[in-house]
Chains A and B, each alone.
Chain A
């Protein structure tokens, strides 16, 4: 028999899930959010997302070629970064904007650091942070009112100028004019809960719908791709912090408005859970989530921006290696004497 059989090291069987399956599953779980966004903000939401995905894939391929690495577009990680980056920028930005974000997210933040797995910060959020710093006008004003509450034809914003469409996000209103103004602009508190939960409000492309993000997150939980630790600790600490400090007096804030506004839901389920940039062990993940929640509310209430999720996660990303070290797993039956530490 001349056949040569495969010879490789044990184990010879593997669990089904692969890196690329994870990336594609996470991407697919965001399709409902995308559809609602198209309904909300018109086809522009889709085109901005496509622009972001294409830029991320192209930037990744070019950087990998330039750095002499195999091109890994098929693993889906650049596609996912593209989707997530688009989901945290306003729908009214110009079409070329995501390309600049992609350079920061993929080339500088990921490939220059050594490629997938070596980046310290969440790529999509690095993209958003750079865009916010460099193009503050677009990033803080290019909002589009939800079609569900403003009766604008679906394609109004596809090619149109941006000046006409500006509106303010709930968080902006809350930050600068207070809770009263919020109810004046977005309806009674019941209407607010309802519209925010479903997603009918101005906001970033993929951040508006609490319910669809929750469904996508639950799907990922069921598939075993994420666990509850980070999302629950993040959302719970945002709720508690905003209840305590978010009102005019102590313990009078509205936790639900805070949780359903801005990027908390998307951040908790999709950004803070990014494997590469979050802790690998459960207790570390809970501390990480609490950190994200606390920093988010702190930035919202005291910082210079109406929204804090992006920076909260990026800050906690820096702590990930430390959290992994502090909460490293307890070994089963280690040797009685401590091993001699290697010194160099």
Chain B
């Protein structure tokens, strides 16, 4: 299968997937305590609906969003609410969190399968909303909102994002290899909700086993009600970013400021699709997820199924601790993830991986002046000029950079990745956007 790819730019970072790609998903025993941040989705923080000392069951609603964008939060363990207090957060520094102490005697909750085929699209959509599902790959945009495009949009294609183009991360890879039928079934649920029949699953060619497994499952599931096919994609970062993915798979370009449904497409990632599957077929809310723990700074690497809210230090203990050469901890992939400074942060819905990078894997050397090599321009998948933006920001003229299209910059990091002067170009782009909004 020849790979399709996006229009311009892109880079080839070392993959490091060999650390975890062959490790079967392993379930981590539930921790003694979980911390559920009220903000782990795009939109306003949820409001706690439980009180201190209240007893909760695994899967119970503990926080909701009444209006506006947001997602319901469920308890990931059975136990007692110990506190509602600010805790460290992987991307927001600190955020209020519901702390639940697990009752060690309580058995895990069992969900009975239900026949989702009897449910209508609206009923399924309501399930997705009740299950608190958000986009699990990135910013955590509420999935039920994404699945409700305005009636003017003519959506005809569902894209499942199996690119997993960030180095190190292998969760979607393992899910596709180990439970392809569930993923495909989830896709069918999504198709029913959207009222369409075409789905494309894009997978980078560095995962032949996943392509194989998904191909078989997709063929078996395709029929009169759905056409699901797998498309191999060139191994190139950022193949999995929404606009690049849509272009690679359909040849359509989402204009700046637009959304995928403007070109008739809805994109979901593999983990999200699996969560949709569980919501529809088991009525199970989203409070567990598979996360890749990798990098040479931790004793044992793994693809772990963990409870949302599990504090990182518990995971680290479970995996045997960190190594002395550990230099940086990153929540997410190494290209777009956030560096974190404490092991007290919990795993949230949007965590796809946590990387423990040692000094051979990451680079914290200081940056120098721009030497105009133009490599950043060549690398930018949006055809921007990162170096110009950076020079403007350094000169205190960040507010004048709109003409360079900084708002198209989705902070993929390709530019900074190639920069020989090690310039923090993503940071400069962020500062430029802030300066434009501020007007100076």
Contacts and interface: CB of A to CB of B under 8 A. Distances in A.
A72 B385 CA distance: 26
Interface residues of A, number: 45
A13 B420 contact: no
A152 interface: no
B381 interface: yes
A281 B377 contact: yes
A33 B247 CA distance: 48
Given A5-B328, A342-B399, A331 B364 contact: no
A22 interface: yes
B385 A275 contact: no
Given A8-B328, A334-B255, 9 more contacts: A9-B426, A10-B330, A10-B426, A11-B335, A14-B416, A18-B420, A22-B373, A275-B373, A336-B255
7 contacts: A1-B313, A5-B326, A15-B13, A275-B373, A278-B372, A333-B408, A342-B436
A254 interface: no
Interface of B: 6-9, 11, 13-14, 167, 243, 247, 253-258, 313, 326-330, 334-341, 343, 355, 357, 361-365, 368-374, 377, 380-385, 387, 399-400, 402-403, 405, 407-408, 411, 413, 416-422, 424, 426-427, 430, 436
Contacts of A342: 399-400, 402-403, 436
A341 B404 CA distance: 10
Given A10-B335, A276-B371, A15 B377 contact: no
A11 B399 CA distance: 24
A11 B371 contact: no
A92 B346 CA distance: 71
Contacts of A276: 371-372
Contacts of A115: 369
Contacts of B384: 329, 331
Contacts of A341: 402-403
The 8 closest A-B pairs by CB, nearest first: A280-B374, A335-B256, A11-B413, A333-B253, A117-B369, A331-B383, A7-B339, A12-B334
A19 B362 contact: no
B94 to A, nearest CB: 15
A13 B402 contact: no
A332 B328 contact: no
A115 B394 CA distance: 14
Nearest to B332: A10
Nearest to B367: A19
A4 interface: yes
A330 interface: yes
Given A13-B167, A116-B369, A118-B369, A6 B327 contact: yes
A117 B338 contact: no
A217 to B, nearest CB: 17
A118 B385 CA distance: 17
A6 B365 CA distance: 11
A324 B416 CA distance: 20
A329 B8 CA distance: 10
Contacts of A15: 11, 13, 417-418, 420
A280 B339 contact: no
Contacts of A75: 368
A13 B13 contact: yes
Nearest to A118: B369
A339 B432 CA distance: 15
B377 A19 contact: no
A1 B342 CA distance: 9
Contacts of A116: 368-369, 371
A18 B422 contact: yes
Contacts of A280: 372-374, 377, 387
Contacts of B413: 10-11
Given A15-B11, A334-B405, A342-B399, A10 B337 contact: yes
A21 B420 contact: yes
Nearest to A15: B418
Contacts of A340: 402
Interface of A: 1, 3-15, 17-19, 21-22, 72, 75, 115-118, 275-281, 328-336, 339-342
A339 B320 CA distance: 52
Give the interface SS of chain B, mostly helix, strand, loop or mixed.
loop
Contact of B337 (A1, A12, A333): A12
Contact of B372 (A5, A12, A275): A275
Nearest to A339: B402
Contacts of A279: 374
B325 to A, nearest CB: 11
A144 B30 CA distance: 82
Contact of B364 (A8, A18, A332): A8
A339 B405 contact: yes
Contact of A339 (B381, B407, B427): B407
Given A8-B364, A281-B374, A328 B385 contact: yes
A18 B253 CA distance: 34
A329 B383 contact: yes
B403 A333 contact: no
Nearest to B295: A12
A6 B421 CA distance: 19
B14 A13 contact: yes
A340 B341 CA distance: 39
A21 B365 CA distance: 14
Contacts of B167: 13
Contacts of B257: 335-336
A91 B408 CA distance: 53
A4 B313 CA distance: 14
A10 B336 contact: yes
Nearest to B400: A342
B311 to A, nearest CB: 13
Contact of A12 (B313, B357, B380): B357
Given A11-B335, A335-B256, A6 B371 contact: no
Given A5-B341, A6-B364, A13-B417, A333 B255 contact: yes
B330 A12 contact: yes
B167 to A, nearest CB: 7
B382 A275 contact: no
Nearest to B167: A13
A3 B323 CA distance: 12
A11 B165 CA distance: 14
A75 B421 CA distance: 10
A19 B243 contact: no
A11 B421 contact: no
A116 to B, nearest CB: 5
A98 to B, nearest CB: 23
A249 B422 CA distance: 54
A275 B374 contact: yes
A329 B385 contact: yes
A117 to B, nearest CB: 4
Given A5-B329, A19-B368, A13 B363 contact: yes
A7 B436 CA distance: 26
Given A280-B387, A331-B382, A334-B405, A17 B420 contact: yes
A332 B420 contact: no
